[in-house]
Amino acid sequence: MDYDAMFNTQLETLKDEGNYRVFAELERRCGDFPRAKSHDAEAPDEVTVWCSNDYLGMGQNPVVRQAMKDAIDQCGTGAGGTRNISGTNHHHKLLEAELADLHRKEDALLFTSGYVSNWAALSTLGSRLPDAVILSDSLNHASMIEGIRHSRAQKVIWKHNDPEDLDRKLAALPANAPKIVAFESVYSMDGDICPMAEIVEVADKHGAMTYLDEVHAVGLYGPRGGGIAEREGLMDRITLIEGTLGKAYGCMGGYIAGSAALCDFIRSFASGFIFTTALPPAVAAAACASIKHLKQSNLERLQQRDRVAKLRAMLNARGIPHLDNPSHIIPVMIKDPVKCRMLADILMQDYGIYVQPINYPTVPKGTERLRFTPSPLHSDADLEHLIEALTVLWKQCALARAVA
Ligand SMILES: *Cc1c(COP(=O)(O)O)cnc(C)c1O
């Protein structure tokens, strides 16, 4: 058997379709966000990153960095074990308390990533609650889909952001079955935001628990960065809030927040929580500092909103089509995988602008896009450089302009 030949056949197919992933090798420059050194031989030495999930640049915030350094000096590098066997550090407990407070919940539970928190929490809920049915929004993230699949619970997919469809599907289920409505607040590919009040209303009506992924919203929305649920005054209506420490908080890790019983249940039964080394204490300390900072500082959020609004206005003025949405994510639609990659390559090589092309299977075929996430630290000059480059490329590639 020639296994490499088998691997290569499938890789060739990906390449032919324009869906082969190429990673940009970068060295982020601390103190110079959003600049990074590029190791791509074709690109300039220094590039401007336009697609970071470190949405506010908190990964380079001096307070956050200092918290990480102090904790390393205090505790060393690794946690030294799983949470169960010697790995529960005081910094983990402090962070969990901080997260519970952020979402006004009784408790919170830390995981090594947001992916793992979704996978572990949903698979545990779905497999441990007898006859549970999980109702999943059709555009939910891969980590939720995998968790649901692994749970082997009955799964019902409802139409994206459609509370009426959810209502119909809940009504068709046995009244006494445990039901879990799983959805996100900000959907990161289209940047749309769920109608949370309606979804919560429908779930309540049918006695379903709500499972909300706020990964792209924590730190960014709500007066203390508690996410869309905080902004809408709905945190107490959500059974379980899941989030990440790897995006707006600029660190790493994932979590759930909910009742004491819910967190204890997941803590006690989730294999993805129990059988893995706990996060380094320094990561927990840095995340804690980042959350604390964004609880009391609105400056970063306001600056980000200003940059986002400005880039949208500039794109509109040049007739460059982008999805209109109420979030911080600006998808510029290319609708062709090969063109999408080509545009990203030219932006990188000729202009020092790094934006990752988003192709299938991350988004449906025919909706390929460049996804821009302006941060508080993208300057007016950065915005102008980007818009000039896009304007030139739009002409060269004869891409359709938005109808004025
Ligand atoms: C990124 C992401 C996750 C996973 O979070 P990580 O901390 O990066 O593992 C979960 N849900 C959604 C919607 C995401 O975009």
Query: DSSP secondary-structure letter at 330?
Result: E
Tell me what pLDDT residue 400 has. Answer: 65
Tell me what pLDDT residue 175 has. Answer: 95
Nearby residues of 349 by Cβ (< 8 Å), 6 or more positions away: 40, 42, 43, 44
- Closest residue by CA, ligand 1 atom 5: 114
Tell me what pLDDT residue 199 has. Answer: 99
Closest CA to 195 of 154, 155, 236, 164: 164
Tell me what pLDDT residue 404 has. Answer: 42
Q: Is 247 a catalytic residue?
A: yes
Q: State the distance from the centre of ligand 1 to the C-alpha of 393, rounded, in angstroms.
A: 31
The rounded distance, in Å, linking the Cα atoms of 80 and 88 is: 9
Amino acid at 118: N
What residues in the chain have per-residue pLDDT under 50? Answer: 404
Q: State the distance from the centre of ligand 1 to the C-alpha of 387, rounded, in angstroms.
A: 29
Cα angle, residue 366 at apex, residues 364 and 368 outer, rounded to 5°: 75
Pocket of ligand 1 (CB under 6 A): 113-115, 118, 141, 143, 184, 188, 213, 215-216, 244, 246, 254
**Is the link from the previous residue into 281 a cis peptide, with omega within 30 of 0?**
no
What strand order describes the sheet that includes 369-372? Answer: 330-333, 369-372, 357-358
How far, in Å, are 86, 221, 303 from residue 215 at the CA level? 29, 11, 20
In 55-197 the beta strands, taken as DSSP E runs, fall at 107-111, 133-137, 154-158, 179-184
Contact by Cβ (8 Å): 389, 320: no
Which of 220, 244, 245, 363 for a ligand 1 pocket mutation test, highest count of atoms within 8 Å of Cβ?
Answer: 244
- Closest residue by CA, ligand 1 atom 14: 215
pTM of the model: 0.96
